[in-house]
Every structure is written in C-alpha cells, then in structure tokens.
Structure 1
Amino acid sequence: MSWARKAIRGVLLDLSGVLFDGDVVIEGSIDAVARLSAAGVPVRFCSNETSIPHQAVVDKLNKLGFSVRAEQVFTPGPCVRKVLIERGLRPFLLVTKEAEAEYSSVQQTEPLNCVVLSDAQDAFHYQNLNKALKVLIECDKPTLIALGRGKYYREKGELNLDVGAFAKVLEYASGVKAEVIGKPEPTYFNAALDDMKVAAEDALMIGDDLENDVGGAQAVGIRGVQVRTGKFMPRDEQNPNVTADGRVANLAEAVDVILAQWTS
C-alpha cells in the first residue's frame, strides 16, 4: 500500500468509529491497539469527543478493554478550559450535563461574553440556541468557540448532527465567526505530534471522518487513512475536496500494514 511505503514512526487514532461504536468495541480494535503498543509504536488518541470530560473518555477506553494512559488521549475540553481561563472569558456552556464538570474552574458569572459549543446532544434545543444567540449579540466583544467542525457522526448505527452544524447556525444568526478547537485544526494535530516527538511526515492518522480526520491531518503533512467503519460512506471515495492516502476495512487491517514495515 502506497501510504506505508515511507516509514511510519507514530500513529494518531480517532476513537468513535475506529475503536468503538457507542459502547460496542469494533471487532479487532483492542488487539490492534495492543499490537501497536507491544511493538513500541508511539500512539496518541485524537478525538473530538466532548459529551463527557477528558478523564471519562480515558475511563471509557479502559473499561472497554483498551489499555491507555490519560496523557495519550487528546480531547478538546482541557484545551478550551485553558483558553477560557487565560482570556478571562465567561461562557454560556452549551454542553451536556456530564461535560459541565470539565469547566468547574471557569468563571461563569453574568454578564456572559462567550458561548462554548460541544457535543451537547439533546441540549441543542431552541431555548438553548436562542440563549446562545442573545449572549453573542448583546455583548461588546463576543466569542464563539466550537469544539470541532464535524457535520455529523455515527453512533449505534444512527447518524446524528454534530457540533459544526450548530456552530454554523449561530455564526449565521450572530455574525460571529466560530473559533474551532479540536479536529481539523492544525494546532490539535501538532500538539499530538509534539507529544510523540514525531515529525508530521513520519506520522499516520487513522480515522473514519474523511474531512476532519484525514483532511485535517493531511493539511499539516500527516498521511491520512480512512477506515470503512463508523461514519464512512462509499461516496467518500469520490469526495472532490479530500482524497485519503489509503483506505482499509478496519483498524486491524491498518495495523497489519504498519507492523509489516515497523522497525523500532
């Protein structure tokens, strides 16, 4: 496979759609991750999962049977919390109840001057979106932060609107451009590369989202491989904007190829 002809020195893995679907492990993924670790391949888990706090993501992975450390897992929540505190932003949080714990150290007193959108799921109802709009319109220097740019995701076999779709609604209504923290932003991928101490041209991103996983990685020089699990659709192969460096049936197949050429 052409994407593996050049040595791979580090691997970035998406979570939902690659390792699991909801609470169900995708066949072969636990063993695939274990084989990478056993071979000494640096691995980082890069997800836009924000419906639960970072530590809960780590706990979920380990409960499902993956063996991961907290520092290996990159999610947008901790990055957003740092930005909010450093910039003195007081957000209206359009997040799930579970995710609110991620922001317990952030000031949220009136008047609010920021809106944070994450995987809010059922909290994306009219009243909350309308409140978010009012915050953005009524303050002097409004800030809109979206934890990702995804259009939709697949969970338990069903497609669901993702945070990027709701960010577009608020951008249109308020005239405020969203700051995106998470995939496909270059800073997100570069942080994982820096942590692995691996150059972009020596790394591989494996994901099910053609635009945010594959396209985002390619934008910073990382090879991107799409799995035919999760949100993959056959039409992805004719996408006019993003062409994956390769496609595999699942993570296990990708790991077979990686380990065939791996030398520690």
Structure 2
Amino acid sequence: MASSGSWFDSCSDIQGVLLDISGVLYDSGAEGGVAIPGSVEAVKKLKQSGLSVRFCTNETQCTRDHLVTKLCGLGFPVQREEVFAPAPAACIVLRDRNLRPHLLIHPDCRPEFEGVDCSSPNCVLIGDATDEFSYKNLNEAFRVLVGLQDPILISMGKGRYYKETDGLTLDVGVYMKALEYACDVEAEVVGKPAKAFFLAALQDMGVQPQHALMVGDDVMNDIGGAQSVGMRGLQVRTGKYRPEDEHHPSVHPDGFVDNLKQAVDLLLQHRGQ
C-alpha cells in the first residue's frame, strides 16, 4: 500500500511528472528487460491526463534511439525528445568547454559520441561500461588523469548499483569513486542527481520545480536529486528499492508507493481525473 497517503491530497498543483526508466518502467536484463506489471498502462494514463511527462534516465549502456526502440517494443508510448539521458548532455559539456575525452563507456553508447574529438585527451569521461570496467581499462583512464596538469573526470551518473533480472549490479558511481580516490580529483556528474539535469527537463516541459513530481526507485539519485531543485519526489518499491530507503538518514521522499501504477492511480484520483 502507499505510504504518506495524505501527501496525495496536495497534488492538485502538479503540472509535470518526471519518470525514471529502469526499475520504474521495466526491470532490465540480458533479454532486453520486462515491463513491470501495470507500468505500460500507467504511462498511457499519465500521458492522456494532460500532464507534461518526461523520462529521466542515467542509462548509458546504449544510445537514446536504442532505448526508445526498446521501450516502444515493451509497449510504452515514448518519443525520443521526451527522454533525457546523460550522453547527449555530456556531449554538450564537451563541446562548450573544448574538451577531448578519453572514453571509458559501454560499446553500445559510443555512437552518441560520433564526431567528438578524442585525440590527445584532456579529460576522462566514464559511463556504465559494465564489462569494459577491466583493470586494464581503469588503469588506462587513471594514467590519462594523473598525466594531466588539471585533471577533469566527468561521470555520466553516480549510482552505486541497479537491478538486473538476475540481481543487483554495480553501477558507474563505484568506478567513479575509485578514480576520484586514485587521482585526488572530484568528478563532475552529468545526469542524475545533478541539478542541471533536472532543471533541463523541467525547462523543456515549461514547468516550475514546485509544480513537478519525480517518480523513481533510487532514493539518492532520483528523489534526492529532484528535491534538491525544489521538486517533490515519490519512491516506488520496485527496481533497486530497499526497505531501508524508507529510513534514509538524509533523503526523505514525499511518499512511497508499491509501483508506478499505484502512483499514477493515486495522483490522478486526487486530481479528480
């Protein structure tokens, strides 16, 4: 059942909803993932309600086009321009600052960086590289960083872990921390929970933070990140959710629900829809 149920009574001013993808819409896995029961219908109802909807993900194992194709294949009505992901945002950062990255990313994400100058790297950019996070590759990234006078480490997210169909899996933040420690540098995060990432999605919707709701499974990156810009955050008990999230020492979600279907049903019910 939903907790903090009275919170939904104050939802009449919500104009836009941001949805995390993995762990909220579907559980990922080797076979392409499976939609969480009720989530496809929930997204359809949400988009039919007249509320603005965007999908904010830290997915860096594939291109945005590939992700949209996968979501549509699972039945979700998602368009490319509705998805905010770290790779396109990182490309803007690289371009605006004339940075030439050494890339430690998943092979399927490399098409997002076509045309980016990677010669004579003056920074390191990492994403969820999965099996590419070998000792050899991490050591190569380390050597690039320590060889720079002013080392710059850019990380597409800072998650600790996420849920695959066969269990919890280490995320990019673990390797980001290793490079930070080894090189005595603080990474610049592109993606959740960076404030700029949430603000870009809100600007695209034309919605002020106080009128927006984030629905996610990650108490730190989804909920904490959203609340840091003045949004409200609702955590689902799917994906990477763990019971201790409900007693987190620093992040306190505005509410908890069992899944996205319950979140949407309660939100629309309290909006009189």
Instruction: Report the TM range for the smaller structure's normalisation.
Output: over 0.9
For 1:168 and 1:231, the matched residues in 2 are separated by 20
Query: What whole-Å deviation, never above 9, does each CA across 1:203-262 have from its counterpart, x for those lacking one?
Result: 110000011101111111111111000001111112111111100010000001111133
Query: What whole-Å deviation, never above 9, does each CA across 1:14-45 have from its counterpart, x for those lacking one?
Result: 00000000111000000000001111111000
Work out whether 1:243 is the aligned partner of 2:252.
yes
8 Å CA contact 1:2–1:246 kept in 2: the answer is: no
Of 168, 171, 187, 2:180 maps to: 171
**Aligned-residue offset at 1:263:** 6.2
1:65 partner letter:
G
**Aligned-residue offset at 1:140:** 2.1
Q: Which residue of 2 aligns with 1:105?
A: 115
For 1:75 and 1:83, the matched residues in 2 are separated by 13
Worse-superposed segment, 218-227 or 2-11: 2-11
Counterparts of residues 101-180 of structure 1 (less than 5 Å): 101-109=111-119, 111-180=120-189
SS in 2 for 1:5: helix
Counterparts of residues 249-264 of structure 1 (less than 5 Å): 249-262=258-271
Query: What whole-Å deviation, never above 9, does each CA across 1:98-156 have from its counterpart, x for those lacking one?
Result: 111110110011x2111111010000110000000000011222210001111111111
Distance 1:157 1:244, change over 3 A: farther
Work out whether 1:11 is the aligned partner of 2:20.
no
For 2:94 and 2:7, the matched residues in 1 are separated by 39
8 Å CA contact 1:228–1:248 kept in 2: the answer is: yes
Instruction: Normalising by structure 2, report the TM-score.
Output: 0.94
SS in 1 for 2:116: coil
Work out whether 1:69 is the aligned partner of 2:83.
no
Q: Output the aligned Cα RMSD.
A: 1.2
Work out whether 1:46 is the aligned partner of 2:46.
no
Gaps of 5+ in 1: none
Worse-superposed segment, 209-218 or 55-64: 55-64
Structure 1 ranges of 4+ moved more than 6 A: none
Identity within the alignment, %: 50
Query: What whole-Å deviation, never above 9, does each CA across 1:56-94 have from its counterpart, x for those lacking one?
Result: 111111111111111110001001011112222111111
Q: Which residue of 2 aligns with 1:20?
A: 26
For 2:53 and 2:221, the matched residues in 1 are separated by 19
Instruction: Normalising by structure 1, report the TM-score.
Output: 0.97
